[in-house]
Amino acid sequence: MTGVAGLLGEIAGIGRDSARGGYSRQGYSRTETELREWFVAHAERRGLDVRRDRNGITWARWNPASVDGKAIVTGSHLDSVPGGGGYDGPLGVASALVAIDLLAARGVRLNRPIDVAVFPEEEGSRFGLACLGSRLAAGAVDPSRALALRDDAGDTFADVLRRDGLDPAHIGADHELLESIEAFVELHVEQGRGLIDIGQPVAIGASILAHGRWRITIDGQGNHAGTTLMSDRHDPMVAASRMIVEIRDAACAVYDARATVGRLVPVPSGTNVIASRVSFWLDVRHPDTAVTASLVSRIRDLVARVGAEEGCVATTTEESLSPTVHFDAGLRSTLRATLPYAVELGTGAGHDAGILAEHIPTAMLFVRNPTGISHSPEELVEDADAEIGAAQLADVLAALASPGPRAPHPPT
Ligand code: HGY
Ligand code: MN
Ligand code: MN
């Protein structure tokens, strides 16, 4: 039986980014299709029934005894951020396949089906809206807004869906799907230092920070770098630079807040040209939804003030906002009973499990990342920890899909 490391090794060459390092695997792209085909081949080899729904989510059902009942779902995503690591997403998908292998080898008899789900565009790296697939299914984004989203090449989501064999007219809330799910447990690489500091391989997810994304656009006066006196400039690049430092200072003044500007696009972006426009994207997070909102409100004010001081016009537009998520208490207690050695850990990273949490009981398992670095090629999971994670996911799936007495697997 191939373990998690072996499965991930099979896709290690897909979507590599030689310029940035790591992986750039965009949602609804040929790369994601190649990864999805890898997953489907493995699912079908295990006798799982595979389908792709109208929002582009892939479902693989393991139901050897054809039992009825709402499904226990696991899985994650296969897309990445630009220059991302190889575990954020794929670890949860590979671990789900190995967990099913372990359950089959143990001869576990299910009393409800187990589904493995692969959600598209979880990172929102292509169309700017994170968890696009799960948001569509959950009715958390208006389909017409989603269809009009454009990628950097200018293609609309509607165009891309058509090219991907999906019908734009059919995307949107899938109540029947949500009604068919008993619980969703997503295994994911831990994206900070949480598990390093406590010396454990696996933790149970407790919560997800409130987080959102805002686009800041600054319009100035494009001009010549050589003929424009410094006193005559309305330079949006200077305004942006000042804003970014003040945003950092504003976030540092709020305990446990995080604010990031990782993407900035000047127009026209010429070495000897004063930019006419600069857009940058803001990511703000905090354990408390209201504190996130109040920090963003202060940032909106500083953006407007600095823009005016630099003789520019600056606007801030909200692109997404996800409130704090507390995972399902009942599910967490089942996970604690099943994995008595695992601690509970909050996360600052958003996940499809966070989007679905509003509609179905969801929980997460985090697997130790010895670098504590994520959204970077340095993201890592040791092979041994990956196998422990899959074994503990198998225990959790067994506890949920075939209840009965069993000894917990200590984290060897
Ligand atoms: O941005 C996030 O937290 C997640 O990786 N999509
Ligand atoms: Mn991520
Ligand atoms: Mn992820």
Task: Write down the pTM of the prediction.
Answer: 0.95
Dihedral through CA 185, CA 208, CA 194, CA 381, nearest 10?
50
Determine the residue of 375, 376, 379 to mutate for testing ligand 1's pocket, defined as the one with the most ligand atoms within 8 A of the Cβ atom. 375
At what angle are helices 236-252 and 289-309 packed, to 10 degrees? Answer: 150
> Which is it for strands 313-322 and 210-219: parallel, antiparallel or unpaired?
antiparallel
**DSSP string covering 109-145:** PPSS-EEEEEES-SS-TTTS-TTHHHHHHHT-S-HHH
Residues 258/286, Cβ–Cβ less than 8 Å: yes
What are the b/e assignments for 284-297, b being 16+ CB within 10 Å?
A: bbbbbbebbeebbe
361 close to ligand 1 (CB < 6 Angstrom): no
Report the separation in Å between the CA atom of 131 and the middle of ligand 3, taken as the mean of its atom positions.
9
Residue 411 has pLDDT above 60, yes or no: no
Residue 406 has pLDDT above 60, yes or no: no
Where in the chain are the domains?
A: 4-209+324-401, 211-322
Secondary structure tally for the chain: helices H, strands E: 13, 15
> pLDDT tens digits, residue range 318-359?
999 999 999 999 999 999 999 999 999 999 999 999 999 999
> Average pLDDT in the 82-109 region?
98
Report the separation in Å between the CA atom of 323 and the middle of ligand 3, taken as the mean of its atom positions.
17
Name which residue sits closest to atom 4 of ligand 1, judged by CA.
350
Sequence-distant (≥ 6) Cβ neighbours of residue 255 within 8 angstroms: none
Ligand 1 atom with minimal separation from the 350 CA: 3
> Average pLDDT in the 245-259 region?
98
355 close to ligand 1 (CB < 6 Angstrom): no
Q: Output the average pLDDT for the chain.
A: 96
Residue 274 has pLDDT above 70, yes or no: yes
251 close to ligand 1 (CB < 6 Angstrom): no
The fold of 4-209+324-401 is: Aminopeptidase (3.40.630)
Name which residue sits closest to atom 6 of ligand 1, judged by CA.
123
354 close to ligand 1 (CB < 6 Angstrom): no
CATH code linked to domain 211-322 = 3.30.70.360
* pLDDT score, position 410: 52
> Average pLDDT in the 27-41 region?
96
Distance CA(64)–CA(402), nearest Å, equals 13
Report the separation in Å between the CA atom of 24 and the middle of ligand 1, taken as the mean of its atom positions.
14
Ligand 1 atom with minimal separation from the 131 CA: 6
> Average pLDDT in the 65-86 region?
97
- Total residue length of the chain: 412
* pLDDT score, position 220: 98
Report the separation in Å between the CA atom of 12 and the middle of ligand 3, taken as the mean of its atom positions.
17
> Average pLDDT in the 276-288 region?
98
379 close to ligand 1 (CB < 6 Angstrom): no
* pLDDT score, position 412: 46
53 close to ligand 1 (CB < 6 Angstrom): no
Report the separation in Å between the CA atom of 313 and the middle of ligand 3, taken as the mean of its atom positions.
35
Q: Which residues hold their Cβ within 5 A of ligand 2, which is an ion? A: 88
- Binned at pLDDT 50, 70 and 90, residue 405 comes out as low
Q: 3-class DSSP state for residue 154?
A: coil
> pLDDT tens digits, residue range 152-211?
999 999 999 999 999 999 999 999 999 999 999 999 999 999 999 898 999 999 999 999
